[in-house]
Amino acid sequence: MVVGDFSIELDTVVIGAGPGGYVAAIHAAELGQKVTVIEREFIGGVCLNVGCIPSKALIEAAHHYQYAMHSQDMGLQVTAAKLDFNKTIEWKNSVVSKLTGGVASLFKKHQIDVVWGDAFLKDDHNLRVIDKEGHAQTYSFNNLIVATGSHPIEIPNFKFKGRVLDSTGALNLREVPKELVVVGGGYIGCELASAYANLGSHVTILEGGSMILANYEKDLVKVVEHHFSKQGVDIYTNALAKNAEQTDDNVKVTFEIDGKAQEITADYVIVSVGRRPNTADMGLEQAGVKVDERGLIPVDAQSRTNIPHIYAIGDIVAGFALAHKASYEGKVAAEAISGMKTTVDYRAMPAVCYTDTSIATTGLTLAEAKEKGFKAKKAQFPFAANGRAISMGKTDGFIRLVFEEETDILLGAQIVGAHASDLINELTLAIEMGATTEDIGLTIHPHPSLGEAVMDAADVALGFPTNI
């Protein structure tokens, strides 16, 4: 192997080691390909290091703190509950280390090489990698999977520095803010708002649209808003963030509603208004890869770009920016390179918002089903009638099933309430398998369990609402 101006020949190259890239790399190696991963910063990408995993660790710690503080109704009187936030951050970081270390071990197991640096395409079969020291090396490749992810959007007058934070900065605070402003009421902003509210912050959410969590149905969001109210979170909708003025001690946020200016002074402001794909300045145009006006790469059903041996997955292609979607697409791309007939199928793509009262959805909503021409109906069951939810003190929310009226085949499901992220898996599998509401209703669920509410919702659909 010669470094410098000579080109090193590689088989399958994956740019990016996030949940899309590392899964693609491992699966490609499992299928017999010789794989090289190019990564600029860290194994595991945003998700494992500064996104999904650390945020859920922080959310879980916040839940435990609230349990300790508010379990009097169960006869638990905790008189010395104290939050050591530095210890919480250390624990969160240990969770990240375990998972990223695990991925590194899997790379070693599958003999996957890692090249550190930024990749730039020279043409459709060659790229150049420049490391942090400025050293460059050229590589040729037979197949390429681009999995470069996305980055937070920075808005005017809210440059990410000091007390103005992106989601990464929000997960690395060394103190719990007394006053916190979150600009953007999407799922990332709402998750962080919920976590810090549970840790003791007074949180204000500024959302530019007419409602928070705009990608979810209103009745689901209403349950989350109700819980936010109980947490003391203030929500301003149709609020346009205008400016952030920092001092050594705080940040003053100016925003407008209906043209009227208002101000809030906080310890920190988190800006979470969306993410942009990382497709610029990496030479895609030199390789002939098409990129649309939003910076997304058009792909076919096998994640293949317009260049047959170059693939793109994850946040840089159309659809939800979800880690599990990226992983799924990575497996499809790896199999396509190996000549398999696998194609993507998004009909049962779950999405979760991990607010304190969480939301999880899969498949179609009732409105979407009707738009697609289905003669669809819905049936739902409240957690307030579920024995396990009552025993947990978690009775807010419901499970809703969307099904085709003539066949009873499940088309979609929506859950708002405790452990929604776990409960949605059964329903995602049911849609994937073409199950009917009768199949679900006839499946024996353990008692007492939150999952019984899935069976009960199916009974409602069948016209036998035994437990309601």
Q: What is the CA radius of gyration of the chain?
A: 24
**Cβ neighbours of 372 (radius 10 Å):** 10
Closest alpha carbon to 442 in 429, 426, 458, 427? 458
Rounded Cα distance between 132 and 68, Å, is 46
187 appears as a binding residue in the annotation: yes
73 appears as a binding residue in the annotation: no
258 appears as a binding residue in the annotation: no
The structure tokens listed for 133 are: 């020291």
Closest alpha carbon to 240 in 282, 285, 273, 270? 273
363 appears as a binding residue in the annotation: no
| Inter-residue contact 327 to 334 (CB < 8 Å) | no
Helix (H, G, I), strand (E, B) or coil at 277: strand
| Whole-number Cα distances in Å, 347 to 23, 369, 427 | 21, 11, 12
| Inter-residue contact 136 to 130 (CB < 8 Å) | yes
**Cβ neighbours of 135 (radius 10 Å):** 11
The structure tokens listed for 64 are: 């435990």
Helix (H, G, I), strand (E, B) or coil at 342: coil
Rounded Cα distance between 90 and 67, Å, is 21
Rounded Cα distance between 175 and 193, Å, is 15
186 appears as a binding residue in the annotation: yes
189 appears as a binding residue in the annotation: yes
Q: What residues are annotated to the active site?
A: 447
Write the burial class of residue 286 (CB in 10 Å: 0-12 exposed, 13-18 middle, 19+ buried): middle
Angle at which helices 452-462 and 420-432 cross, to 10°? 50
Name the DSSP class of 433.
Answer: T
117 appears as a binding residue in the annotation: no
Q: Map 200-248 to HEC letters.
A: CCEEEEECCCCCCCCCCCHHHHHHHHHHHHHHCCEEECCCEEEEEEECC
Annotated binding site: 56, 148-150, 184-191, 207, 274, 315
Annotated binding site for FAD: 56, 148-150, 315
Annotated binding site for NAD(+): 184-191, 207, 274
